[in-house]
């Protein structure tokens, strides 16, 4: 049996910032389920005028319940278009409604959803989101279709999407239903299924809207977007720092994501033999996954270098796979071991995700282990001896105990929340007046401080005694104890150093969503693509419900 | 206004931090307010009063509550006897944490009023005062008729506003530098 990779190897920011989607990604869990269960989809309303203003409703009907995307389309002046969370108007705004909305529901939502953070929704709503057009691609497609032409495929591929979402709020935000309200439903049990459904339906709405606008402009001369082209379009997502603290603030949840994938990798590596069908499946999807990497575009120097590394890795891997004898014992473990020595972290993680593909029966069941169903994990065990807490801290943060946390380069940054927009930001501790407002997002530094204080204490004493004398370490003691059930819950890198790259944290989370084409716009801001290549909801079948993520051609 | 319990927890946590609690205790305050609201009690108002009082009449229920939860293991051997506790209803979420850890119901006697919790549910009889002269906490009782669970909170609007004012103290005033660099954008989105 091959063991799971150790947290020391997996949980560095450099490694987390190299993760790729896999069978367990939340988008693929959703489309697989909907295809398997035969969900049906309808559009009960599309009341949008020639200027592109109005609302539409898209309903997904599952075996027990229905969910509806309520979309509001707006006529947004260009000077108002901003992806940042400080924006106050958008090209389109959305909510995912629990069921099928009545006329009264639509009237209520029309007064609130377009306002986003300035509005309120109710327990009948599960998520709230908004999207902006890609101006250049939108105009190109409306122009072409209105004149009876298909758009230039190269233009489509250069952008990849017609609209990008700039926030998708769930879990009780803005008054919506709490996670607990839906967590027991089988279709919502895995993380972020409501948000992923909302985005999947949004992509359908966006296609309808662009065709509607082309028809409004061109009348009878206009044509629909060819399905082959429409399928290539995804939904963009533009994400900033707001997402980064999430994986620190939810250590049990994040552990469950990482542990599920690591368990899947270990299971496949442990297989003694690979059948010829399994090897053929791997090789087919290898080529298709390489197609996706070929169309991945970015201008950011860090990602450009990583991407060049990945493309080199894929070439090397191609030669290795072609020359390899897959009839040897434990072929997948052999390949992974070869990759550890020969490939960059990007290439290693790309391969690790890809070897899972032939083994749905072995892997997919782990998807149900990825939610956080353990609210008791946050209750401190005050009877635990001080010595045990010290050992737990050394296990998760051994590397951090050697770091000089007073050196400016090791604590150059501080996470804070701005008064202006109430969103997380990352500032320069020694240049801005922010230290007094610091958020608890440097677990390693805090662990080193708690460790030093604990070492002064009697090892057999209960931790409750220590906490009474040192209440400031309560947060850290809780995290140390959580690590008992969440070995992959702590990032094993400095999150406040001068060289920290918040995009690594964003990448880790987005990879589990299932995004592709990670395109940083700075060290703390990223655009990605969701659902590119996926069938539109009415076309979803058992055949295309999962491997749509790998494009058949390099376009 | 109706709030999600997640909103209650987030607001309570930030307000407790703004009022000067360390992060660990602020997290407990967030969970405590949420737990009380889930029982149908106005955890927002109770927390607001406890955090806003200049001089608490008695010991802080959050601090002593955390200690009660941390010392759950000793509860079966010896009841906790507390004197002069401000807003003692705020102890109940911490007693519930102890009950969860012990997997036994815990009984609270407070100046003639009492409560019992198994960690999830809660039953109360009598009026809990704003200031308790004496609180006894012991492993005992059976939770036969818990209060109905709530999935939403409708807190007192003034109390909510008071927590919002405290929460605001945790936000860093914006500077030109933070606007430009803190969020890391700067490229046009009109593309």
Per-position DSSP letters for A32-64, written without gaps between them? HHHHHHT-EEEEEEEEE-TTS-EEEEEEEE-SS
Rounded to whole angstroms, how far apart are CA atoms B37 and B4?
A: 10
Phi, psi of A478 (to 5 degrees): -60, -45
pLDDT tens profile A413-467 = 999 998 887 888 999 999 999 999 999 999 999 999 999 999 999 999 999 999 9
For residue A454, what are the CA distances in angstroms to A248, A393, B40? Answer: 23, 10, 40
Decide if pLDDT at B70 tops 90: yes
What is the per-residue pLDDT for A182?
A: 97
What is the per-residue pLDDT for B80?
A: 96
- Identify which of A125, A253, A121, A129 has the alpha carbon closest to the alpha carbon of residue A182: A125
A220 is written with which tokens? 């009878």
pLDDT tens profile A454-513 = 999 999 999 999 999 999 999 999 999 999 999 999 999 999 999 999 999 999 999 999
For residue B68, what are the CA distances in angstroms to A313, A402, A469, B19, B108? Answer: 56, 35, 15, 22, 12
- Identify which of A517, A548, A529, A520 has the alpha carbon closest to the alpha carbon of residue A206: A529
Q: State the nearest Cα–Cα gap between A195 and chain B, in angstroms.
A: 17
Interface contact A78, partner B, CB < 8 A? yes
A345 is written with which tokens? 């972290």
Q: State the nearest Cα–Cα gap between B15 and chain A, in angstroms.
A: 13
Query: Residue B5 is nearest to which of A178, A241, A425, comparing CB atoms?
Result: A178
- CB contact at 8 A, A131 and A163: yes
Tell me whether residues A382 and B63 touch, CB distance under 8 A.
Answer: no
- Identify which of A385, A405, A406 has the alpha carbon closest to the alpha carbon of residue A477: A385
A528 is written with which tokens? 């990605």
Rounded to whole angstroms, how far apart are CA atoms A400 and B172?
A: 28
What is the per-residue pLDDT for B179?
A: 65
Q: State the nearest Cα–Cα gap between A219 and chain B, in angstroms.
A: 27
Its pTM stands at 0.96
Tell me whether residues B24 and A478 touch, CB distance under 8 A.
Answer: yes
Tell me whether residues B174 and A418 touch, CB distance under 8 A.
Answer: yes
Alpha helices in A374-473 (DSSP H): 386-397, 443-454, 463-469
Interface contact A475, partner B, CB < 8 A? yes
* DSSP secondary structure letters along A132-143: EE-HHHHHHHHH
pLDDT tens profile B23-64 = 999 999 999 999 999 999 999 999 999 998 877 778 999 999
For residue A162, the tally of other CB atoms under 10 A from its CB is: 26
Q: To probe the interface with A, which of B5, B8, B21, B189 has the most A CB atoms within 10 Å? A: B189
Query: Residue B183 is nearest to which of A240, A422, A428, comparing CB atoms?
Result: A240
Q: State the nearest Cα–Cα gap between B86 and chain A, in angstroms.
A: 19
- Identify which of B100, B18, B87, B97 has the alpha carbon closest to the alpha carbon of residue B56: B87
Residues in chain A closer than 8 A to B69 (CB atoms):
379-380, 382
Phi, psi of A361 (to 5 degrees): -65, -30
Task: Report the length, in residues, of chain B.
Answer: 191
Interface contact B149, partner A, CB < 8 A? no
Residues 6+ apart with CB under 8 A from A59: A41, A42, A43, A44, A66, A67, A68, A69, A100
Specify the residue for token string 């494009």: A551
Strand partners for A93: A72, A130
- CB contact at 8 A, A523 and B184: yes
What is the per-residue pLDDT for B185?
A: 53
Mean pLDDT score of chain B, rounded to an integer? 93
Rounded to whole angstroms, how far apart are CA atoms A104 and A222?
A: 35
Residues in chain B closer than 8 A to A84 (CB atoms):
183, 185, 189
Q: To probe the interface with A, which of B30, B70, B171 has the most A CB atoms within 10 Å? A: B70
Residues in chain A closer than 8 A to B74 (CB atoms):
383
Which DSSP symbol is given to A364? Answer: G
What is the per-residue pLDDT for B183?
A: 56
Interface contact B165, partner A, CB < 8 A? no
Tell me whether residues B6 and A522 touch, CB distance under 8 A.
Answer: no
A193 is written with which tokens? 């299924």
For residue A162, what are the CA distances in angstroms to A76, A92, A231, A409? Answer: 15, 12, 12, 41
Tell me whether residues B182 and A464 touch, CB distance under 8 A.
Answer: no
Q: State the nearest Cα–Cα gap between B183 and chain A, in angstroms.
A: 5
A383 is written with which tokens? 């009877």
- CB contact at 8 A, A71 and A56: yes
Rounded to whole angstroms, how far apart are CA atoms A57 and A44?
A: 6
Phi, psi of B152 (to 5 degrees): -135, 165
- CB contact at 8 A, A196 and A498: no
A139 is written with which tokens? 């105009």
The domain limits of chain A are: 7-21+248-372+495-548, 38-232, 375-482
Interface contact B186, partner A, CB < 8 A? yes
Rounded to whole angstroms, how far apart are CA atoms B191 and A138?
A: 10
Q: State the nearest Cα–Cα gap between A181 and chain B, in angstroms.
A: 7
Q: Which residue of B has its CA nearest to A502?
A: B184
Interface contact B157, partner A, CB < 8 A? no
Residues in chain B closer than 8 A to A420 (CB atoms):
174, 179
Q: To probe the interface with A, which of B2, B23, B29, B160 has the most A CB atoms within 10 Å? A: B23
Q: To probe the interface with B, which of A84, A243, A420, A466 has the most B CB atoms within 10 Å? A: A420
Rounded to whole angstroms, how far apart are CA atoms A381 and A477?
A: 9
Query: Residue B71 is nearest to which of A178, A240, A464, comparing CB atoms?
Result: A464
Tell me whether residues A241 and B184 touch, CB distance under 8 A.
Answer: yes
- CB contact at 8 A, B15 and A469: no
Interface contact A83, partner B, CB < 8 A? yes
Q: Which residue of A has its CA nearest to B97?
A: A379
- CB contact at 8 A, A523 and A503: yes
Interface contact A298, partner B, CB < 8 A? no
Query: Residue A241 is nearest to which of B31, B73, B183, comparing CB atoms?
Result: B183
Specify the residue for token string 């009878």: A220
Chain A / chain B CB contacts < 8 angstroms: 167
Judged by DSSP in three states, A512 sits in helix
- CB contact at 8 A, A518 and A535: no
Q: State the nearest Cα–Cα gap between B145 and chain A, in angstroms.
A: 22
A54 is written with which tokens? 């109005």
Decide if pLDDT at B181 tops 90: no
Interface contact A241, partner B, CB < 8 A? yes
Interface contact A472, partner B, CB < 8 A? yes
- Identify which of A9, A11, A17 has the alpha carbon closest to the alpha carbon of residue A307: A17
Judged by DSSP in three states, A148 sits in coil
Tell me whether residues B170 and A173 touch, CB distance under 8 A.
Answer: no
- Identify which of A500, A441, A505, A509 has the alpha carbon closest to the alpha carbon of residue A476: A441
Interface contact B103, partner A, CB < 8 A? no
Q: State the nearest Cα–Cα gap between B11 and chain A, in angstroms.
A: 11
Q: State the nearest Cα–Cα gap between B16 and chain A, in angstroms.
A: 13
Interface contact A108, partner B, CB < 8 A? no
Q: State the nearest Cα–Cα gap between A469 and chain B, in angstroms.
A: 11
Residue-wise pLDDT tens for chain A (555 aa)?
Answer: 999 999 999 999 999 999 999 999 999 999 999 999 999 999 999 999 999 999 999 999 999 999 999 999 999 888 888 877 778 889 999 999 999 999 999 999 999 999 998 999 999 999 999 999 999 899 999 999 999 999 999 999 888 999 999 889 999 999 999 999 999 999 999 999 999 999 999 999 999 999 999 999 999 999 999 999 999 999 999 888 888 899 999 999 999 999 999 999 999 999 999 999 999 999 999 999 999 999 898 889 999 999 999 999 999 999 999 999 999 999 999 999 999 999 999 999 999 999 999 999 999 999 999 999 988 999 999 999 999 999 999 999 999 999 999 999 999 999 999 888 788 899 999 999 999 999 999 999 999 999 999 999 999 999 999 999 999 999 999 999 999 999 999 999 999 999 999 999 999 999 999 999 999 988 888 999 999 999 999 999 999 999 999 988 765
Tell me whether residues A425 and B70 touch, CB distance under 8 A.
Answer: no
- CB contact at 8 A, A337 and A355: no
What is the per-residue pLDDT for B182?
A: 58
What is the per-residue pLDDT for B187?
A: 56
Interface of A with B in 527-546 (CB under 8 A): none
Judged by DSSP in three states, B83 sits in strand
Tell me whether residues A417 and B172 touch, CB distance under 8 A.
Answer: yes
A431 is written with which tokens? 């240049």
Residues in chain B closer than 8 A to A476 (CB atoms):
24
Q: For A508, how many CA atoms within 13 A lie in the half-sphere containing its CB?
A: 28
For residue A75, what are the CA distances in angstroms to A107, A161, A214? Answer: 19, 19, 15
- Identify which of A148, A160, A157 has the alpha carbon closest to the alpha carbon of residue A206: A160
Q: Which residue of A has its CA nearest to B102?
A: A381
Q: Within chain B, how many helices (H) and strands (E) appear?
A: 7, 7
The secondary element (H helix, E strand) that includes residue A527 is strand A525-530
């Amino acid at each position: 049996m091959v063991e799971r990779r150790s947290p020391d190897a997996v949980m560095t920011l450099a490694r987390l910032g190299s993760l790729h989607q896999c069978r367990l990604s939340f988008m693929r869990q959703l489309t697989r389920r909907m295809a398997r269960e035969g969900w049906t989809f309808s559009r009960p309303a599309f009341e949008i005028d020639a200027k592109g203003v109005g609302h539409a409703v898209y309903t997904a009907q599952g075996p027990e319940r229905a969910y509806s995307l309520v979309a509001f389309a707006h006529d947004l002046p260009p000077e108002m278009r901003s992806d940042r969370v400080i924006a106050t108007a958008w090209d389109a705004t959305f909510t995912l409604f629990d069921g099928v909305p009545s006329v009264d529901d639509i009237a209520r939502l029309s007064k609130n959803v377009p306002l986003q953070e300035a509005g309120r929704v109710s327990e009948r709503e599960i998520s709230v989101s908004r999207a902006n057009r890609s101006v250049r691609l939108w105009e190109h497609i409306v122009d072409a279709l209105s004149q009876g032409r298909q758009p230039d495929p190269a233009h489509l591929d250069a952008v990849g999407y017609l609209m990008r979402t700039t926030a998708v709020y769930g879990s009780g935000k803005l008054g919506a239903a709490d996670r607990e309200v839906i967590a027991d439903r089988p279709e919502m049990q895995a993380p972020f299924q409501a948000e992923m459904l909302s985005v999947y339906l949004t992509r359908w709405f966006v296609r309808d809207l662009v065709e509607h606008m082309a028809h409004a402009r061109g009348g009878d001369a206009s044509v629909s977007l060819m399905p082959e082209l429409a399928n290539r379009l995804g939904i963009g997502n533009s994400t900033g720092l707001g997402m980064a603290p999430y994986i620190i603030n939810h250590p049990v949840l994040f552990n469950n994501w990482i542990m599920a994938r690591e368990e899947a990798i270990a299971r496949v590596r442990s297989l003694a033999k690979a059948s010829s069908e399994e090897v053929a499946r791997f090789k087919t999807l290898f080529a298709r996954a390489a197609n996706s990497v070929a169309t991945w575009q970015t201008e950011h120097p860090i990602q450009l270098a990583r991407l060049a590394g990945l493309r080199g890795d894929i070439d090397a891997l191609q030669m290795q796979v072609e020359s390899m004898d897959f009839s040897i014992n434990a072929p997948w473990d052999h390949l992974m071991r070869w990759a550890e020595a020969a490939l960059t972290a990007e290439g290693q993680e790309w391969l690790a995700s890809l070897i899972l593909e032939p083994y749905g029966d072995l892997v997919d069941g782990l998807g149900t282990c990825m939610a956080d169903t353990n609210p008791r994990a946050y209750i401190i065990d005050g009877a635990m001896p001080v010595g045990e807490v010290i050992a737990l801290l050394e296990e998760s943060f051994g590397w951090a105990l050697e770091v000089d946390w007073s050196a400016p380069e090791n604590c150059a940054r501080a996470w804070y929340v701005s008064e202006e927009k109430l969103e997380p930001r990352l500032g320069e501790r020694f240049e801005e007046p922010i230290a007094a407002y610091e958020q608890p997002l440097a677990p390693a530094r805090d662990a080193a401080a708690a460790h030093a204080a604990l070492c002064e204490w009697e090892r057999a004493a209960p931790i409750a005694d220590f906490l009474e004398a040192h209440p400031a370490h309560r947060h850290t003691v809780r995290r140390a104890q959580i690590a008992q059930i969440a070995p992959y819950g702590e990032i094993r890198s400095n999150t406040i150093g001068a060289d920290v790259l918040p995009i690594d944290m964003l990448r880790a989370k987005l990879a589990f969503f299932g995004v592709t084409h990670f395109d940083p716009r700075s060290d703390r801001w990223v655009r990605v693509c969701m659902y590119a290549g996926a069938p539109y909801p009415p076309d979803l079948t058992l055949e295309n419900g999962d491997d749509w993520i790998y494009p058949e051609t390099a376009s | 206004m109706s709030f999600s319990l997640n909103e209650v927890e987030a607001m309570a946590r930030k307000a407790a931090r703004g009022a000067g609690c360390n992060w660990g205790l602020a997290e407990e305050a967030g969970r405590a307010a949420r737990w009380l609201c889930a029982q149908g009690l106005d955890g927002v108002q109770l927390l607001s009063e406890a955090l806003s009082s200049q001089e608490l009449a008695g010991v802080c229920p959050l601090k002593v509550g955390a200690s009660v939860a941390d010392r759950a293991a000793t509860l079966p051997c010896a009841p906790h006897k507390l004197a002069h506790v401000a807003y003692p209803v705020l102890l109940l979420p911490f007693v519930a944490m102890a009950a969860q850890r012990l997997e036994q119901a815990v009984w609270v006697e407070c100046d003639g009023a009492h409560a019992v919790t198994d960690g999830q549910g809660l039953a109360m009889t009598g009026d809990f005062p704003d200031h308790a002269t004496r609180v006894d906490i012991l492993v005992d009782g059976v939770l036969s008729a818990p209060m109905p669970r709530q999935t939403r909170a409708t807190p007192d609007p003034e109390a909510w506003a008071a927590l919002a004012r405290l929460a605001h103290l945790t936000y860093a005033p914006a500077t030109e530098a933070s606007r430009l660099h803190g969020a890391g954008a700067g490229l046009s989105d009109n593309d």
